[in-house]
């Protein structure tokens, strides 16, 4: 059976752990979203071009386009069946070629099944080191471009809806669990008949989940989180509903962390009265004591979190256009008792274990703004250094005690030999 290369899957990765997957059908498109125009085909060649919409290098913007020319490895016309020869060209938004990269076969292709055990071992031994030196090579070349060539640096924008964000941190995973429960309660307790299809930025067994109201619903509102950074920003926000509304109305594509299919209905769902239904719903009593109840040790960590909320407010988005429309439901954090809606929800509706995890994570994030320039992971490094330091002090103290104890025993033995009372000497040496 004669085979032919008809489509390709191209995966682009960057050093920020983000990915973009393109599906190429061998066509040329000039604008994003435009249907592909059949390319001028050449015997044994696969060609395609597409718009660039993914940030790869800090020395190139997200604008421009790619063009791919690949040799068909199944074609017999070129006489090089099974060989790879792909050339990709990056062009600027003004259609000027900026970068040309080529990958091609230097030897005949290898079938791993026919290699055998020793052949596979030799192959791995020849290439195992490449992955370890790739990142240092990137840093080296980036240093040349920045310090020697003085190239302009483009700050990394957030990924678009079609791309895949980075992997989430442990803190973001904990916040996501509480936000998922919050969103479910918001939909189920709302008087509006809106269902929400929630698509998380954290791959799991429940990456997609639809929350249904008690009565019949309209078309579902699709809420897709594009990057785990959304959950960290949510923890910074003093008012959960205001932050979500603000992101919908003001954030541009460079800073957007989530996408919504029906903005206005979702803003109605986030209305203050709808959000308050979560805390006044009689069918969902508090699972444990709030920050104003319980023992002193139960109240103290929540009161410290409230103090951080009242005295530390970090903007949810690093770049905000103040000329755009602002949401009408901006509420002072002090009007809600110093807690965000997500804080209230964690206190009253999450299990005690999850509430404590959420509280500790948010406290660490807010403290990171004050003490670690917005990098809470510094606390982990500091904690590790402190553990090593105190372990060293403990070892030194034990060593000092043993030296002192042995020295004291030796002194007593020496004193006994000089004493005239043998009974006292024996009692002092072995029982003293």
Number of Cβ within 10 Å of residue 146's Cβ equals: 14
CB 335 within 8 A of CB 166: no
Query: What integer pLDDT is reported at residue 331 of this predicted model?
Result: 42
Report the candidate in 395, 402, 418, 284 with the shortest Cα–Cα distance to residue 347.
284
CB 251 within 8 A of CB 319: no
- The single residue listed with the structure tokens 């903005």 is 263
Q: How far apart are CA 247 and CA 228, in angstroms?
A: 15
Query: What integer pLDDT is reported at residue 40 of this predicted model?
Result: 44
Query: What integer pLDDT is reported at residue 282 of this predicted model?
Result: 42
Query: What integer pLDDT is reported at residue 42 of this predicted model?
Result: 58
Query: What integer pLDDT is reported at residue 81 of this predicted model?
Result: 74
Q: What is the pLDDT along the chain (432 residues), one digit of tens a residue?
A: 678 888 999 999 998 999 999 999 986 444 444 444 444 445 678 999 999 999 999 999 999 999 999 988 887 766 667 788 999 999 998 889 999 999 998 888 888 888 888 988 998 998 889 989 988 999 999 999 999 999 999 998 999 989 999 999 899 999 999 999 999 988 888 887 888 999 999 877 578 888 888 766 677 899 999 999 999 999 888 778 788 888 888 767 788 899 999 888 888 888 755 566 666 554 444 455 554 555 667 778 888 888 888 876 544 444 444 334 444 444 444 444 578 889 988 988 888 899 999 999 999 888 887 777 667 777 777 778 888 999 999 999 998 888 888 887 777 766 666 655 555 565 554 444
Q: How far apart are CA 340 and CA 268, in angstroms?
A: 18
Query: How, if at all, do strands 37-38 and 27-28 pair?
Result: antiparallel
* pTM summary value: 0.74
Number of Cβ within 10 Å of residue 152's Cβ equals: 9
Query: What integer pLDDT is reported at residue 41 of this predicted model?
Result: 47
Encoded tokens for 338: 């110093």
Q: How far apart are CA 422 and CA 301, in angstroms?
A: 63
Query: What integer pLDDT is reported at residue 219 of this predicted model?
Result: 78
């Amino acid at each position: 059976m004669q085979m032919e290369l008809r489509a390709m899957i191209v995966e682009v990765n960057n050093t920020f752990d983000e990915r973009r997957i393109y599906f190429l059908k061998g066509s040329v498109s000039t604008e994003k979203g435009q249907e592909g125009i059949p390319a001028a085909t050449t015997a044994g060649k696969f060609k395609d071009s597409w718009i660039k919409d993914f940030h790869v290098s800090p020395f190139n913007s997200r604008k421009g386009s790619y063009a791919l020319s690949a040799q068909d490895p199944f074609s017999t016309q070129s006489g090089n069946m099974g060989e790879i020869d792909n050339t990709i060209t990056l062009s600027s938004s003004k259609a000027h070629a900026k970068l040309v990269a080529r990958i091609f076969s230097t030897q005949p292709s290898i079938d791993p099944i026919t290699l055998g055990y020793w052949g596979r071992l030799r192959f791995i031994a020849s290439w195992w080191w490449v992955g370890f030196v790739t990142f240092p090579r990137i840093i080296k070349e980036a240093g040349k471009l920045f310090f020697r060539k003085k190239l302009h640096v483009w700050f990394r924008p957030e990924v678009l809806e079609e791309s895949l964000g980075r992997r989430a941190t442990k803190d973001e995973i904990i916040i996501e669990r509480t936000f998922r429960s919050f969103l479910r309660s918001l939909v189920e307790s709302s008087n509006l008949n809106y269902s929400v299809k929630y698509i998380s930025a954290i791959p799991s067994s429940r990456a997609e989940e639809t929350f249904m109201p008690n009565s019949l619903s309209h078309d579902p509102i699709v809420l897709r989180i594009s990057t785990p950074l959304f959950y960290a920003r949510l923890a910074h926000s003093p008012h959960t509903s205001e932050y979500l509304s603000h992101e919908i109305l003001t954030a541009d594509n460079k800073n957007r962390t989530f996408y919504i299919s029906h903005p206005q209905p979702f803003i109605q769902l986030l209305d203050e009265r709808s959000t308050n239904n979560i805390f006044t719903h009689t069918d969902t009593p508090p699972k444990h004591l709030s920050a104003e109840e319980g023992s002193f040790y139960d109240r103290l960590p929540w009161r410290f979190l409230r103090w951080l909320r009242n005295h530390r407010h970090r903007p949810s988005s690093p770049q905000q256009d103040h000329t755009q429309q602002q949401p009408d439901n901006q509420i002072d954090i002090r009007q809600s008792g110093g807690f965000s809606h997500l804080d209230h929800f964690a206190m009253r509706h999450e299990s005690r274990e999850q509430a404590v995890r959420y509280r500790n994570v948010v406290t660490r994030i807010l403290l990171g703004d004050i003490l670690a320039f917005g990098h809470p992971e510094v606390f982990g490094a500091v904690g590790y250094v402190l553990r090593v330091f105190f372990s060293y002090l403990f070892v030194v103290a034990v060593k000092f005690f043993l030296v002192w104890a042995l020295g004291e025993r030796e002194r007593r033995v020496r004193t006994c030999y000089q004493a005239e009372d043998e009974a006292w000497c024996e009692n002092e040496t072995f029982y003293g």
